[in-house]
Homo-oligomer: A and B are copies of this chain.
Amino acid sequence: MTATYRDVKADILEKITLGIWPPGSTIPKEIELAEIYDCARATVNRAMRELAEDGIVERKRKAGTKVRMAPVRQARFEIPIVRKEIEDKGTEYRYALVRKERQQAPDWLRARLRLNDGGAVLHLICMHYADGAPYQYEDRWINLDLLPNAAEIDFADTGPNEWLVATIPFSNAEISLLATMADAELAEHLGCSKGDALFQAERSTWWDGKAITFVRLTFRKGHRMTTRY
């Protein structure tokens, strides 16, 4: 009989969507809601906290809880490992190392990774295929000052991404999504025409404030990143 936090959350959400509590209005305080739904304040609190996390309401101590004027629409995109992404679609995954080269970090990379001291980096070009067709072109740079043993790894069989996630369990990252025009190299590897519009993701990764890796992932022509919310 007594309401669960899900019930409370659902009911409040319904009141908001139906316009009973319009944007900008103040929702009754937790104690009152606890009485209304005949549950503990902690239960109401959890429901309200989740609604706040979802960007539907805004909470402030003393001020109370208000329905957001414009709900902060935030889409969550999962960034899976390519192999998993391909295999989850039921297609066969294949990986190939195109190029591997040890070199000094170019200026643009130093800026991107906020590196002060110019260091050695490992530059890798890899391809990922789904059912034999090109799926993703990976242009990766690994900071050898931080991960010197990366130079010893032979990335012929498994991609650098898989090695990295196994080596550095968790890290901070910055992702950018953008559109780019295919140059000759991309066109050749991804099997499209030069000048085609391609979807690209760039990711810079740090661990404990130190730059680990920068990667530019270019997807095959027509790729979409989709999510629901």
Contacts and interface: CB of A to CB of B under 8 A. Distances in A.
Interface stretch (A12-20, A32-40, A106-114, A136-144): A12-20
Interface stretch (A2-10, A87-95, A166-174): A166-174
Interface string A212-223: 000000000011
Interface residues of A, number: 52
Given A179-B179, A227-B175, A77 B78 contact: no
Contacts of A116: none
Contacts of A200: 179
A80 B71 CA distance: 9
Q: Report how many copies the assembly holds.
A: 2
Contacts of A165: 70-71
Contact of A77 (B70, B77, B178, B196): B77
A49 to B, nearest CB: 10
Interface in A57-104: 67, 70-81, 84
A193 to B, nearest CB: 10
Contact of A71 (B169, B175, B196, B223): B169
Contacts of A135: none
Contact of A226 (B56, B80, B175): B175
Given A70-B84, A78-B73, A175-B75, A22 B169 contact: yes
Given A73-B78, A177-B199, 20 more contacts: A16-B169, A17-B169, A23-B166, A23-B169, A71-B165, A73-B80, A74-B78, A75-B173, A172-B228, A172-B229, A175-B228, A176-B224, A178-B179, A178-B222, A179-B179, A179-B180, A179-B197, A179-B223, A181-B195, A181-B197
